[in-house]
Amino acid sequence: MSKFLNEPEEDLDPRFYTEAKEDITYDAIVIGAGVIGPCIAKCLAQKGKKVLIIEKEWQEPDRIVGELMQPGGVRALRELGMIQAINNIDAQPITGYTVMYNGEKVAIKYSHKDKSGPLDLLSSDIVHEGNDKILSGDKTLNYDDFENDERERGVAFVHGRFLTNLRNMCLAEPNVTPLAGNVIEVMKNKVGEVIGVRVDVPNNRGKCEFKAHITFVVDGVFSKFRRELASDFKTTSSSSFIGMSLFNADMPTKNNGHVILGTNHSPVLVYQISPEETRILCAFNSKKAPTNISKWMISSVKPHIPEQLRPSFDKALAEGKFRSMPNQFVCARQNDVTGLCVIGDALNMRHPLGGGGMTVGLKDTVLLIKKIGDLDFSDRETVLDELLDFHYERKSYDSVINVLSIALYSLFAADNEYLAILQRGCFAYFQKGDDCLEKPIMFLSGVLPRPFLLTKVFFAVALYSVYLNFEKRGAVGFPVAFFEGFAILFTAARVFTPFLYNELIG
């Protein structure tokens, strides 16, 4: 199976064009075979459902998104029985973060596993025969370190290799029928219920109609069909990332993600995705990339790159193979249309600075299968009721990951003086260590789904920033620091509270 998925599109196995049937009603149609689509299709198929999964481009993609998975996502893969998708792709273990601020640095290890609580594995028809554990013999992921270490671990990888593994797991299921084609319409009946899709299928098959009891829209960041839930359901974007590949880079801290911060520049992320390749993502505070990327990288990024990364950075800069992506945000909507479920990045996005996208999507998949996996999908009203419950039950974890990503980007980009004070206070808070490190990293890694505790910790950081500002101003500057304190707290509330409200109440 893996062989033909890595071949050009025109060489795909004929079943990708011929096996899908128009004269039957599938239990489920899945639009999109990114990270989340194959997981949904595989698990539903193991529940006995007949699933049609449709993807326009089945060949291995080359993207700079979805390359670092936090421990929460790793745990969700275990719960889905799909953790072995990270095996044999030269994936790199991630044990924590190194945060650098104006030349200083703090190492933050991921939290202890016993503080995350037990795994909630799906039923034995899905999780069985040790498929909740990685394979032994992987040359880059040590089984004992990954399975028996007392601390959580994340993982980084080349996105396309990981995705190919997920797709192959999905396509190995006899209840899954793959289709190569472009979905051009989500079909509805006279009362507005979704009944299937219209697909433009190549190889002379033309436009075809396929029916299902439920259609899952999982077509990702640039979803064409999220507006089937609501006409105003669309993303917003105010920043972007410029990415490069560094080769044979000398990493400051082995097996760590790196966040490079400073008073005079936007955040830079660096993490290793294979034995030879390291990803660097440079934040740019506009949804459009700089006109002259090379010039911007030289003037605004290079001065802040650690010395040991400079040789690989300079070489990548000279090659000029830049890639950019807009950072998009969209708050989830209720799945309140009969016969339709929007999920993954089509449903909900956050700033990629926190690396939480795959974690939210995979945790959503676990919850979704628990809610509807054993239902008869022809009972569409019962399925709809469970999808409405799904919307509220997911808020505990998605609100933490989403709000934290926005808040961290606001602090780390620091485009005004009060955000700069908060940025300095945040780093100093990390320097205190112990509980001041453990809870923030648990939020970031997706293993502490407690939004009100996140609120408490965030404003503890804000108050500590106010205290440090008083200390810096001294007795003479007390009146100024007093008024600045109110401005700092107001700024913190402004970048945090509206997003938390929208996630929990909106």
pLDDT of residue 5: 55
Which tens digit of pLDDT belongs to each residue from 337-391? 999 999 999 999 999 999 999 999 999 999 999 999 999 999 999 999 999 999 9
pLDDT of residue 394: 97
Q: Which two tokens stand for residue 407?
A: 């808040």
CA distance 247 to 278: 6
What percent of the chain lies above the pLDDT cut of 70? Answer: 98
Q: Between the CA of residue 225 and those of 147, 222, 340, what are the distances in Å?
A: 39, 9, 10
Which of the residue ranges 69-73, 82-86, 119-123, 414-418 would you say has the lowest mean pLDDT? Answer: 414-418
pLDDT at 3 over 80: no
The shares of helix, strand and coil residues in the chain, as percent rounded to the nearest 5, are 40, 20, 35
Which of the residue ranges 7-11, 14-18, 228-232, 302-306 would you say has the lowest mean pLDDT? Answer: 7-11
Taking residue 493's Cβ as centre, other Cβ atoms within 10 Å add up to 13
Helical segments of 292-349, H only: 293-296, 310-319
Element (H, E) at 362: helix 357-372
What does DSSP say about strands 206-217 and 340-342: parallel, antiparallel, or unpaired?
Answer: parallel
Q: Between the CA of residue 213 and those of 51, 188, 378, what are the distances in Å?
A: 10, 12, 6
Token look-up 């700033």 returns 351
The sign one gets for the Cα dihedral 234, 236, 242, 248 is negative
Q: Which two tokens stand for residue 339?
A: 């016969």
pLDDT of residue 4: 43
356 φ, ψ to 5°? -105, 0
CA distance 352 to 354: 5
The sign one gets for the Cα dihedral 122, 124, 130, 135 is negative
Chain centroid to CA 247: 24
* Burial class of residue 483 (count of CB atoms within 10 Å of its CB; 0-12, 13-18, 19+): exposed
Q: Which domains, ranges and CATH numbers included, belong to the chain? A: 2-62+163-233+330-395 (3.50.50.60), 68-157 (no CATH), 236-328 (3.30.70), 414-504 (no CATH)
Show the beta-strand stretches assigned E in 263-358. Answer: 265-272, 277-284, 323-329, 340-342
Which tens digit of pLDDT belongs to each residue from 479-489? 999 999 999 99
Could you tell me if 338 and 381 are in contact, meaning their C-beta atoms sit under 8 angstroms apart? yes
Which tens digit of pLDDT belongs to each residue from 151-170? 999 999 999 999 999 999 99
Which tens digit of pLDDT belongs to each residue from 34-50? 999 999 999 999 999 99
pLDDT band for position 298 (cuts 50, 70, 90): very high
What does DSSP say about strands 104-109 and 206-217: parallel, antiparallel, or unpaired?
Answer: unpaired
The mean pLDDT value for 182-203 works out to: 96
The rounded mean pLDDT for the chain is 95
pLDDT of residue 464: 98
CA distance 469 to 480: 10
Structural Rg of the chain based on CA atoms: 23
Could you tell me if 450 and 400 are in contact, meaning their C-beta atoms sit under 8 angstroms apart? yes
Element (H, E) at 31: strand 25-31
What percent of the chain lies above the pLDDT cut of 90? Answer: 93
pLDDT of residue 268: 97
